[in-house]
Structure 1
């Protein structure tokens, strides 16, 4: 006769089992999705996902508020940047654009940590010195640049005037005149899953660099002597370059190693 499996505690008939308390890492995102970042293999090829990391911000984007459920919407005939209601029957974690006007395209600016946000009608989100926000610019300048701040409970945007985007509760219009970062200055952002997959794939390919081959290419490019013969590289280990690559100063490390050769006048 087999014995019943042992349990860690006594249980009684009719007693409801205790729910296991979630750890901090397992607690859900404000829109109902897991706060744990998705691994590359877990990212779906279609649909929309919550943006919970700065690296995943960009491309086709929806900017929303959860309670009430509102979506930033542009217009072909007006430059107003306003939020419009979305059917309450749809949970935020399943939210997808119902109209092209609900989609903006976020692009990281070259040599900058700021972003531009463009409507479906080719107009950029811009702000004036009074905090008035519109889709009223056809080009990117300082007033169209936004610093994106990803927090545990959502995403915030700071203008060039060091003021935060906020929602006017009466008019449902965007403004950028808040000096503090609070609930009204925090939005839920959803991005296209396809963009996230492509972005992470590109980031991985960019990260894989043969530093020894790269150093040889730099010597060929910058060496100013030797009649075409490439000088041997620095006596330092290639691990120095790999460490510099991770630290983000690979070019500086390559220059230092060329200087050590003491044969390239352009390095001195």
Structure 2
């Protein structure tokens, strides 16, 4: 089944036994910081980390029930729970889905067979749809450090203990409904969207921009004689950059001004 699934699956697959590649060391300081924030849980799952916010539910996704056991796609459009993996191994190809945003606080999943996961009226999770409709939308629920997935019928996803099928039939989330949604995409540290030149108060901002654009033939920093009052007004009115440019232009020392 894995060979058939891999033939349909698009993009790079993370195969069983693959290990996360170690990042090249560049700065000792960064190494020390990263060492102090090692995600042991991620390492135990082959580089697949716990998703805890809706923004991360995109790209390659795996759903873990129990310990190192993942929801697995079957070629008949149904799903089962796969056999447990060894510690350090990630999910198998048929256990990897592609996540997409699907409205406010909801997401959709596509299997490697190119079908979207939905739910039947009797609460069986199926993957036979070519498009995302109401039945193919899922809502993640995070509470008290636990995760559950709610179907469009307001029933939580779980594993049927009789035949290991994947269902969504219970209106309350208990131990059987708790799972881990995992991703293996790169986690980037949130960086400030404020340009480096605009960090600090308005007087410092003007100095930063002058230093960036002014020609320094005589090594002297030329600032406009006007105070920061005009800059404060310009910031409120939304034309701070235009005002800074005009002030630099009047000094006739800006390579981007007349």
TM range (shorter): 0.5 to 0.7
Within a 5 Å distance, the mapping from 1:192-211 to structure 2 comes to: 192=184, 195-197=185-187, 200=188, 204=191, 207-208=193-194
Structure 1 residue 103 corresponds to structure 2 residue 103 = no
Within a 5 Å distance, the mapping from 1:33-182 to structure 2 comes to: 47-54=46-53, 55-67=55-67, 69-75=68-74, 77-87=75-85, 90-91=86-87, 94-97=88-91, 99-109=92-102, 111-182=103-174
Alpha-carbon distance between aligned partners in 2 of 1:153 and 1:95, rounded to the nearest angstrom: 23
Alpha-carbon distance between aligned partners in 2 of 1:148 and 1:196, rounded to the nearest angstrom: 21
Note the C-alpha offset of 1:204. Answer: 4.1
Q: Tell me the SS of whatever aligns to 1:143.
A: helix
The structure 1 segments of at least 4 consecutive aligned residues displaced by more than 3 Å after TM superposition are 40-44, 151-154, 207-210, 234-238
Is contact 2:61–2:183 with CA below 8 Å preserved after alignment? yes
Alpha-carbon distance between aligned partners in 1 of 2:76 and 2:156, rounded to the nearest angstrom: 23
Aligned length: 167
Is contact 1:52–1:152 with CA below 8 Å preserved after alignment? no
Provide closer, same or farther for how the CA distance between residues 65 and 108 of structure 1 changes in structure 2, counting only shifts above 3 A: same
Question: Structure 1, unaligned stretches of length 5 or more?
Answer: 1-39, 213-231, 242-268
Question: Structure 2, unaligned stretches of length 5 or more?
Answer: 1-32, 199-229, 239-258
Give the superposed CA RMSD. Answer: 3.4
What TM-score results when the alignment is normalised by the length of structure 1?
A: 0.53
What TM-score results when the alignment is normalised by the length of structure 2?
A: 0.55
